[in-house]
Amino acid sequence: MYFHTRREFLATGLKGAGLLAASAFVPTFITRTAAATGASRDSSILVVVQLSGGNDGLNTVVPFADDLYVRARPTLHLTGNETLKLSDSLGLHPALIEFQQEYEDGHMAIVQNVGYPNPSRSHFRSMEIWQSGMDVSDAGHREGWLGRYFDAQCEGADPHKLPGEIGMSFGKVMPQAFRNRSNVGLAISDPQTFQWNPSGETSTLAAVQEKIFEKLNQPKAAPAMSASTAGGIIGDEPETINFLRHTAMNAVLAGDTLRSLLKKQKNQASYPNGQLAAQLQMVAKLIAGDFPSRVYYVAQGGYDTHSRQRESHAKLLGDFSQSVGAFLKDLRKQTLSERVTVLAFSEFGRRVAENGSQGTDHGAAAPVFLFGDGVKGGLHGQAPDLSDLVDGDVRHQIDFRQVYASVLDGWLETSSQKILGGKFSGVNVV
């Protein structure tokens, strides 16, 4: 079954049963969304691209005219003639052909020297900081910055948009950025197997699990039967059961709809082969099909370029550029591009000096990229000052939470101060 609107999707439940009619056991944020009114194509959408491993910012946005850059990288530096010129001193890596056009059209913002104080060179710790959106000293914070956005949505913090919309990520593990109290994020690696089958075992066991789910979600027992006899839930269930109800309901509601939308919708652009492109193809289809999400999360790995970086980095950036370029072209052909902003980040940059293996090691600040018809394109912030390093790393000038604040306040229309736990001045990118 194909659903034309969020309302239709959320008003239709397990095996055709009406969600609104079964609202005694449907999670509150879902019933609230099912009852909401409003156009299905009026809300802004954020697509986050995670470049995992630590992208080398200096060979992505290249300070080719800086002698310190050239001397620090005798085998890895790129010359002005090799780069795609942004200015008299900066250029894009030659593999970023699609991005050059986006930049010239005013649809690409490059935020330079983004990082945070006292940076960590640990992949795990630095990614945790970026995804939680919290201070480096807050070691125990587990909820993600987008997860807190979802929670705010379910609390009705954004009066202009439909409440209760979910987040969609692609991969085997939910990103920490999505962790939240409301349990409204979904993570998929293969849409064809995305269903209520948490053990991943046989179809027989899956059927048993579905029966357990249905029993857990029976409405309050009629007066003639006790709750224990009926096997239902009476509303004062423990937090663990509540969590299971939310998780199971999300999976049941989303599984069939995902497969239906992905089968019915057609991409309007040619995508390259590769994991990132495949993920973005699905995102484009879900946006075109009005899937009830304002946030999508995809990832591209491989950026930990400790050795023989020149060839591998060029391949990665080419895939990044071609995939995002195809995605933006797809959206424009479907007149959806005005609704979508793409935010691309990596957990850290690389050290200024190349190492002995013709690669680069873990660094600190690096550029962040935003794409879309609604972004304020161009270069934001100053070019890296290679004469003023911190332990051999580029010094950050812009806190990553300033970028998040701009996206939250200016694009998702939600208070960034509440989400980020403090006030961060934006960088005027949307």
Closest Cα to residue 103, out of 91, 115, 88? 91
Smallest CA-to-CA distance from 36 within 174, 160, 195, 129 is with 160
Tokens of 33: 């969304």
Output the pLDDT for position 192: 63
- Per CATH, domain 32-194+293-420 is 3.40.720: yes
DSSP track, 193-212: G-SS-TT---HHHHHHHHHH
Q: Are residues 408 and 419 in contact, defined by beta-carbon separation less than 8 angstroms?
A: yes
pTM score, whole prediction = 0.81
- Tell me the helices (H) and strands (E) count for the chain, helix number first: 13, 14
Residue with tokens 């194909």: 2
Cα–Cα distance for residue pair 398/409, rounded to 1 Å: 17
In the numeric block, which tokens belong to residue 44? 């802004």
Query: Over the range 33-70, which residues count as b (16 or more CB within 10 Å of their CB) and which as e?
Result: bbeeeeebeebbbbbbbbbebbbbbbbbbbbbebeebe
Give residue limits of the domains in the chain: 32-194+293-420
What is the model's pLDDT at position 32? 43
* Tens-digit pLDDT string for the chain (430 aa): 333 444 444 444 333 333 333 333 334 444 444 444 333 467 899 999 999 999 999 999 999 999 999 999 999 999 999 999 999 999 999 999 999 999 999 999 999 999 999 999 999 999 999 999 987 676 666 789 999 998 887 664 443 344 446 788 998 788 999 988 876 677 787 776 555 444 444 445 555 555 555 555 554 444 443 333 333 334 444 555 565 555 555 555 666 777 788 889 999 999 999 999 999 999 999 999 988 889 999 999 999 999 999 999 999 999 999 999 999 999 999 999 999 999 999 999 999 999 999 999 999 999 999 999 999 999 999 999 999 999 999 999 999 999 999 999 999 999 999 899 899 998 999 9
DSSP letter string, 75-127: TT---TTTSEESSSS-EE-TT-HHHHHHHHTT-EEEEEEEE-SS----HHHHH
Cα–Cα distance measured from residue 360 to residue 160, given in angstroms and rounded to the nearest whole number? 46
Q: What are phi and psi of 273, to 5 degrees?
A: -75, 150
The per-residue pLDDT for 189 is 77
